[in-house]
Amino acid sequence: AGTFATPTEIRRLYRGDFTAPREVVGPDALEVFGTLGLAADASDGERRLTFANWVASKENPLTARVIVNRVWQFHFGTGIVDTPSDLGKAGTLPSHPELLDFLASELMENGWSLKHIHRLIMESATYQQSSRPRREAIAVDAGARLLWRFPPRRMEAEVIRDSILH
């Protein structure tokens, strides 16, 4: 497997220029996200483990929100936040923020089990509803962003092949 080396000294660079190093920077996260609480001489393995625990922490729900948004996108074609690579200020707002938070908390409370999230989504009334359009609903939400019908999608080649073989 991998080998761990003693981490080298890291310096802040003036305006990003590698020929203009400034003060030494310790191992930590960005200030706006909190701190990892690592000593400057922490080993590489300790740094990686602390960072992994911080990313998967219940105090950091962003990781779970990103994961469940991607799973939702896999099933419905569009995520609850339709900019899956940007759940921040530059991205769009979630269509159903309470649902996103509920699924994220379910993921964390059930040992980060993706199977549990897939099952929750697939057993939901939203997933099992018809994709047939309704005139009154199209007038309000033509793109079905509010999930009044299952969004029609192209069938994958594997599904077509399996249907033919069946």
How would you write the pLDDT of the chain (166 residues) with one tens digit per residue?
567 677 888 888 999 899 999 998 888 888 887 788 888 888 888 888 988 888 888 878 888 999 999 999 999 888 899 888 887 778 888 989 999 999 999 999 999 999 999 999 999 998 898 888 888 988 988 887 888 888 877 888 998 999 999 9
Helices (H), 2-55: 44-55
Distance between CA 77 and CA 28 in Å, rounded? Answer: 36
Tens-digit pLDDT profile for residues 13-33: 999 899 999 998 888 888 887
pLDDT at 1: 59
**DSSP bridge partners of 13:** 21
Query: Within 10 Å of residue 101's Cβ, how many Cβ atoms?
Result: 16
Output b/e per residue, 85-98; b: 16+ Cβ within 10 A.
eebeeeeeebbbee
pLDDT at 2: 66
Tens-digit pLDDT profile for residues 110-130: 999 999 999 999 999 988 988
CA of residue 62 relative to chain centroid, distance: 7
- Read off the tokens for 125: 């009334």
- Cα 38–Cα 11–Cα 87 angle in degrees, nearest 5: 65
H or E stretch covering 10: strand 10-13
Distance between CA 100 and CA 139 in Å, rounded? Answer: 26
Write the DSSP string, 89-149.
TTSPPPSSHHHHHHHHHHHHHTTT-HHHHHHHHHTSHHHHS-----HHHHHH-TT-TT-SS
**0.85 surpassed by pTM:** no
Cβ contact 133:149 at 8 Å: yes
